[in-house]
Amino acid sequence: MLQQFESDSYALPQPVRKELPLQPLATDRMAVILNQNANKVNERVRRRLAGLVPSADLYYSRSLEEAEGFARHIVQAGYGTVVSGGGDGTLVNVVNQVCRYVDEANEWRMQRARHFGEPQALLQYPEFGVLKLGTGNGLSHVVGASNPAKDLHKLMSGPRHPAIEVDMIECEGTKFVFGGIGYDARILNDYIHLKNWAAKSKYFKRLSATAAGYLLAVCGRSVPDFLRNGFTQNVRVTNEGDDCYYMDPRRGDRAIAVPRGTVLFEGPAGVVSVGTSPYFGFGFTMFPFAGTMPGLMNLRVATMGPIEALLHLPSLWKGHLRSPSILDFMCSKVKVETDKPVCFQHSGDGQGKRDSLTFSMADRPLKLVDYYGHPFQSGSPRP
């Protein structure tokens, strides 16, 4: 297979879109949505954040339905920034709900303009912010989110922060920054099981919200399950986009073009995952090439077993490990097929089982408030 590689915005109808103006965003207004089910959103945190945000701009969400209602109100109010308090799953839900309502509202406005001659300004997508209040918080490492109260205070009191663009992946009508099948999804299910069990104890609840809790789930539940039931599934991965690139570790991670229609991998694999952000939770660098080629996602196929993974865990965690058991590609669209339904996850949340999935690059990037700021203005590089 390696030798083979060596040899080788949202679209509005243009006539209507050009005629309709864009409704300006209220750049000085910021909405904050807190997921009350998130691990770190307790009463003390709620009181602290409530003292920083006007009550009219603070929303407490206890369910997806409630969050959807808030999203509609936030879009109608024209907020320039929407801040999500929770984990990666919370942010992804907020982004999808807000952007879906913007799309629906613009479609309705276009129809009115087209059929009745009633022009209305089109809505714009706001920027989004992250408060590190979930368990994994992979995107917090991308934008420098740390202490939720201090970060929110900066946003509310200082000048408007710059934003960075993070590409998104689309699958089954939902956009996210990382997802996949295999033992990462199985491990997440085991970790969720541990968190549910640990919720009964104050001490273990705190432990479960750390990297140590994640490792405990891996070593205490996932690895024994893999040894009993196997860790691989038969997978076929096909490049369905334009040329993608194999990152050849033997040549200093040189990018080798692979044409459309090529079967990138076929056989037993433990993980098939995609990401446009380097990190899973706790700073685990799952996708070391994410962001190096804008407009492409890092596809990672791993065939290594759990014992090999544990033996190389420090370098694997930091994204430094290069191994024949790991294949990395940069792709715009891939189809993943398995011989039986397997666990699927995105954004750290389980999505049930699938035997076929198509991952493609979304039509627009996610604009995230950047706590780091411009690296050349501070006089020092990012950490």
CATH at residue 155: 3.40.50.10330
- Rounded distance, CA 283 to CA 319, Å? 10
User: Number of structural domains, the chain?
Assistant: 2
Together in a domain, 107 and 236: no
- Which two three-digit tokens encode residue 124? 């714009």
Residues 200 and 113 in one domain: no
In terms of residue numbers, what domain contains 73?
Answer: 9-167
CB distance 247 to 328 below 8 Å:
yes
193 and 141 in a common domain: no
pTM: 0.82
Question: Can you give the pLDDT at residue 230?
Answer: 63
DSSP state of 293: S
**Residues 94 and 216 grouped into a single domain:** no
In a domain, 1, yes or no: no
**344 in the same domain as 243:** yes
* CATH code of residue 202: 2.60.200.40
Alpha-carbon distance of 34 to 322, in angstroms, equals 39
Domain end, chosen from 136, 167, 198, is at 167
Tokens of residue 288, six digits:
């070391």
Chosen domain end from 167, 182, 215: 167
Domain termination site, one of 134, 167, 200: 167
Does a structural domain hold residue 3?
no
Residue 232 confidence (pLDDT):
72
Whether 190 and 145 map to the same domain: the answer is no
Position with higher pLDDT, 225 vs 362? 362
In a domain, 287, yes or no: yes
pLDDT the model gives residue 336: 98
Matching residue, tokens 């104890």: 201
Task: Judge contact between 330 and 292, C-beta under 8 A.
Answer: yes
Q: How far is it, in rounded angstroms, from Cα 237 to Cα 247?
A: 16
Cα angle 340, 341, 343 (rounded to 5 degrees) comes to 135
| Angle at CA of residue 236, ends 233 and 241, nearest 5° | 140
- Whether the per-residue pLDDT at 306 is higher than 50: the answer is yes
Same domain membership, residue 182 and residue 135: no
At 162-193, the pLDDT tens digits run 899 999 999 999 999 999 998 767 777 677 66
Shared-domain flag, residues 333 and 355: yes
Same-domain check for residues 341 and 262:
yes
Which pLDDT does position 297 carry in this prediction?
98
Share the mean pLDDT of the chain: 84
